Structure 1
Amino acid sequence: MPFLEHPKGRAYYRHWPAPEPRAVVVFLHGFGEHTGVYHRYGFALNAAGIDLWAVDQFGHGLSPGVRGDFGSIDDSSRLAETLTEIAEAQRPGLPLIAQGHSFGAVVTLARLLDQPDRYRAGVISGAPLIPIPELLDTDSSFDLDPHWLSNDPFYLDLLENDPLAFTDADSAPLARALDTAWDRFGHDLPKLTVPTLAVHGVVDPIAQIGAVRAYAEQIEALQIKEFPGGGHDILNDTMHREVTDAIIAFIDERC
């Protein structure tokens, strides 16, 4: 089992290798997930000649930590940095794409702002770009209705029966980490220069689409692709094939 080293502990990661890759995606998942829920996405990218590398963030999957506690934005960014270095060593010279979902999207945007020359492009989904009311009270727990995430029966069954997936946890650590990003985005996000695609469900009740639309209107590098009927976990919703096709087409344009 592959693990990468981090000051907080050894984090588990997965690699879905394409036979003859032409690009590399480095992916960060969101709250309650782990890398294993993205195998369908990984195989679809592989069929298009794209490598997928993903890491179980702290407090998730097979990585250590308190359930649901990612740590800081910097902790997650360091995971992505180490994973990027591993991917670069195994796939030298290939274009790098930074991708993240939900909390992972927030970390990905921070990395694209901090290292604009590192990645050829970025992809975000379910990105919470403004404060989420349910997380403003740091004394409460975060308890998600699975149907807020997806209407795909396969994915809902996975959430119910996968012992590594969950929809509830103490929200205080997540709120603290997101708060630092929200403070920054209002000032820095309009400075984004790396071409970035936001795929977003129109009926996402957690990270509502309005904020992403507003930022896309004012940021030339940010484009949005909307999916009617899509919930928060758009990569694992009923229209996941269309979402993946849009991402592949975007990567094709950039690589």
Structure 2
Amino acid sequence: MSRYTDHPAPEGVTTRGTILVVPGRGETHETYARLGARLSADAYHVRVVDPPRLDPADPAPSLTRFAKELGEAADAPDGVPAVRPVVVIGSDAGAAAVAAVLARTGASWQPDGVVLAGLPSRAAPERATWEEELDLRTACPVHRRRLTEDGQVRRGALGTPVPAPVLALAEESEIPVPTLLLAGDADPLVDHQALLAKARSLPRARLSRVRGAHHDVLNDAQHRSVAAEIVTFLEGLRDGMAPAVSVAASAW
């Protein structure tokens, strides 16, 4: 599998920023083809990277390597600097690894903003059949089919715990850049109270709960609304986090 899969902005328009997507447990580049296509259509260059390779016995070197890989992925293959803002979207263990990297002092590279989707808790689900794992992940029939037909997806991966030191760093991290936290309210793998406390503890954070969504909140049945929430975050980041749209009156 290639280290990157690119979804460039449409030809003839100015690229508005760079997005790195970090998959979670068991996922592949192809898992995020739909999200990449949607965000790139809004003139962002989307690059899906390999999932982080975390050593459960000694994750510190893994995180150092992962931070270096993110910095390299942010630039074009010919070394041209990325169009800013640069935002990292992490899902599941990818979200935990991104948060853990930003928690470490002296990090050699950091993005302009992050989106942490389905940040996992310390509890791992019991061994499940593939249908049961799909039920944990998503109710979207298209996403279920994509996961099932992708021969590179590692079935049963959700039953492998994220290394405890990585989760500890992610839980304790004081992320210094604007942060959008996303969680499905039907996701049993997220500690929702801990996530709320984390959002309140960060200097520039927003927690968005997605009604009815499962663990794969970026790809569940509500993926259009989730992508819109991400684009709103991206556009706000370009303008000092000032919202472009505010509600003056509403009947809902």
Question: TM-score under structure 2 normalisation?
Answer: 0.78
Measured against aligned partners, the alpha-carbon deviations of 1:207-254 in whole angstroms (never above 9, x if no partner) come to 242221121122232210111100000111000000000000001001
1:43 maps to 37
2:189 maps to 206
**What are the equivalent positions in structure 2 for 1:1-255 lying under 5 Å apart?**
3=2, 12-19=3-10, 20-57=14-51, 72-86=62-76, 89-114=79-104, 115=107, 118-128=110-120, 130-134=121-125, 145-169=133-157, 174-175=160-161, 178-186=163-171, 188-189=172-173, 191-255=174-238
Q: Secondary structure at the match of 1:231?
A: coil
Partner Cα separation in structure 2 for residue 117 and residue 224 of structure 1? 24
Q: 1:88 to 1:30 in 2, by over 3 A?
A: farther
One-letter amino acid of the structure 2 residue matched with residue 250 of structure 1: F
One-letter amino acid of the structure 2 residue matched with residue 146 of structure 1: L
1:6 maps to none
Q: 1:116 to 1:99 in 2, by over 3 A?
A: farther
Asked if the contact 1:16/1:43 (under 8 Å) is kept, the reply is yes
Asked if the contact 2:91/2:119 (under 8 Å) is kept, the reply is yes
As a proportion of its length, which structure holds more helix?
Answer: 1
Q: 1:119 to 1:217 in 2, by over 3 A?
A: same
1:148 shift after superposition: 0.9
Question: TM-score under structure 1 normalisation?
Answer: 0.78
* Number of residue pairs aligned between Structure 1 and Structure 2: 225
Q: Secondary structure at the match of 2:84?
A: coil
Q: Percent identity?
A: 23
Partner Cα separation in structure 1 for residue 78 and residue 100 of structure 2? 20
1:58 shift after superposition: 6.3
CA RMSD in angstroms comes to 2.8
Measured against aligned partners, the alpha-carbon deviations of 1:94-152 in whole angstroms (never above 9, x if no partner) come to 21112100010011112333449732111110011x411548xxxx7997620111100
Gaps of 5+ in 1: 4-11, 60-70
